[in-house]
Structure 1
């Protein structure tokens, strides 16, 4: 068991390194979307203010009191009479501002499109990453167990990944991705509306947008990375269980990651466990979000370990 545990410990450390690579890709895609959103805001900012020293909030108040039809007639008279006194110009600009309040909704829609592009890309990228990891884990287990690859292994891998993506009894990876889309869209709309109504400078908005990218436990970057790590562990556990069943292995051990929490350490101490009763969150990873733990088959055949060493596995 010691040899298999050492192998699994080394594998866990490698997975942690790969998680950092995937986090960088998430960051890259988020940064691109944030840059596009900022560009959209900058391009439309002057249209919001229309050169007037009043906020959108004030404009809405004035709009509520304004008889639009009467004001339109008045504006037409200004133009026909070429009466462009300072007061006339001011009133016309305020009127235009009121009419352009709806521009805020248009920019929100444009931001929504940027986010759809972002999260659609993350959804597809995530599926690709999980599929590749599942296939790699199936091949790794075949090497560990000395098994001959099932000719239908690709279908088994695809079935497990698709179940994770679409058919799980709890929220799937894809569902969670789009839940994050909904949350980020709502947060951005609140930020934009607040900035406009308070007359903030676009640079101030840029600093607010940057908060979505900072590494803290509440922003979108953290949530997406946590989701990716957790789902990766879940799928690898599913592949491990399927491999043990295929090889008719009855027992397995829980292998806690190097920085494991007390929950995972206690589960690791409680083994071995029955493969037939292997269940994520109970006696198999993931036990919690961000879990990097793994499992190892409980095999009493010394010849298998000797064969693995001989093959350099």
Structure 2
């Protein structure tokens, strides 16, 4: 009789487990389809929103095709459906363990139902939270990727990070970051940085133009690739893009006058002001002062890129402030500190 009871319990257990598996498979399939539809619609809506802002033409068939492609991309080496079914399998395992525990104990039907209901409700709540987190995170991923595609279609090279006012310690340092779209890596230099991340991006634009001549003492020296050349570096161009975006103005790239030899030119002309870029490498107490030594004819405004110096920020800040106190440096007007393609501090001479 005891053997019969055990056999019946095991048969009952297997039957319940089979019922649970079938029900959960159906639920998982429904969740996957609904989430996919939600993500595709979200991508289409976000592209249309960006198109209205950026003035892009909309091809409904094209954006639907692109939305499906974005949604079905892997994220951190996994497809969103893989994560749905992972959660589904975990729910099935948890419920089966709880069924086994209750059945083997031989509870009466009413107590069995109450005990199982409490355990299953807890499991479902845990998995529901995980599924909601997945839906939120996947939606954010799709929106960010859709934004980037819209920026590319609009011909934009850069984007700017925007964090929410209550951003966490992981996200808040990125607020205002300017990122080259071709170098954007989700989870690295652009959102999302964590589950439920609410950071976003906007297209960043500012005009950078090449001057085809430099005027000195009333005479124009035109670019001829011999006596007057325009050969700025990639780094100088990146800083120009940053300045144009952050200053919301046009940055003019200035050609170098090789001959006559006594004509000094800045790197940039911004709102009729001369600006020169200086990469800071040294670590002495006079590093900043040495960077502007004999540069009075070249520019009165400077950008110091401190990305590669061994000086601390406090040391640099102290040296910059010392420039404004120096009688020999009264010709210096404004200074901007740049680090890793970010303007981290600005200084202005009091008029």
- In the alignment, which residue of structure 1 is the partner of 2:72? 162
Rounded to whole Å, the distance in 1 between the matches of 2:82 and 2:205 is 38
Q: Map Cα deviations across residues 126-156 of structure 1 (whole Å, 9 max, x no partner).
A: 0000010000011011011011124622222
Query: Displacement of 1:169 after TM fit?
Result: 6.0
Cα contact 2:72–2:79 (8 A) shared by 1 = no
Cα contact 2:133–2:196 (8 A) shared by 1 = yes
1:149 to 53, 58, 70: 58
For the pair 1:257 / 2:167, whether they are aligned, the reply is no
Distance 1:99 1:198, change over 3 A: closer
CA root-mean-square deviation: 2.1
Rounded to whole Å, the distance in 2 between the matches of 1:160 and 1:115 is 27
Rounded to whole Å, the distance in 2 between the matches of 1:155 and 1:183 is 32
SS of corresponding position for 2:202: strand
Kindly indicate which of the two structures has a greater share of residues assigned to strand. Answer: 2
User: Runs of 4 or more off by more than 6 Å in structure 1?
Assistant: none
Q: Map Cα deviations across residues 96-144 of structure 1 (whole Å, 9 max, x no partner).
A: 4233222211210111001011111000000000010000011011011
Rounded to whole Å, the distance in 2 between the matches of 1:210 and 1:103 is 21
Kindly indicate which of the two structures has a greater share of residues assigned to helix. Answer: 1
- In the alignment, which residue of structure 1 is the partner of 2:182? 276
- In the alignment, which residue of structure 2 is the partner of 1:135? 44
- In the alignment, which residue of structure 1 is the partner of 2:284? none
Q: Map Cα deviations across residues 210-260 of structure 1 (whole Å, 9 max, x no partner).
A: 21344xxxx101110110011000011110111111111011111112431
**Which of 1 and 2 has greater Rg?**
2
- In the alignment, which residue of structure 1 is the partner of 2:29? 120
Rounded to whole Å, the distance in 1 between the matches of 2:124 and 2:20 is 17
Rounded to whole Å, the distance in 2 between the matches of 1:262 and 1:99 is 57
- In the alignment, which residue of structure 2 is the partner of 1:290? 196
Query: Displacement of 1:262 after TM fit?
Result: 1.0
Corresponding pairs, count: 203
TM-score by length of 1: 0.61
SS of corresponding position for 2:159: strand
Structure 2 gaps of 5+ residues are 208-247, 249-351
SS of corresponding position for 1:263: coil
For the pair 1:99 / 2:7, whether they are aligned, the reply is yes
- In the alignment, which residue of structure 2 is the partner of 1:189? 96
Cα contact 1:255–1:268 (8 A) shared by 2 = yes
TM-score by length of 2: 0.55
Structure 1 gaps of 5+ residues are 1-90, 306-313
2:148 to 241, 263, 278: 241
Cα contact 1:138–1:239 (8 A) shared by 2 = yes
Query: Displacement of 1:175 after TM fit?
Result: 0.2
- In the alignment, which residue of structure 1 is the partner of 2:272? none
- In the alignment, which residue of structure 2 is the partner of 1:70? none
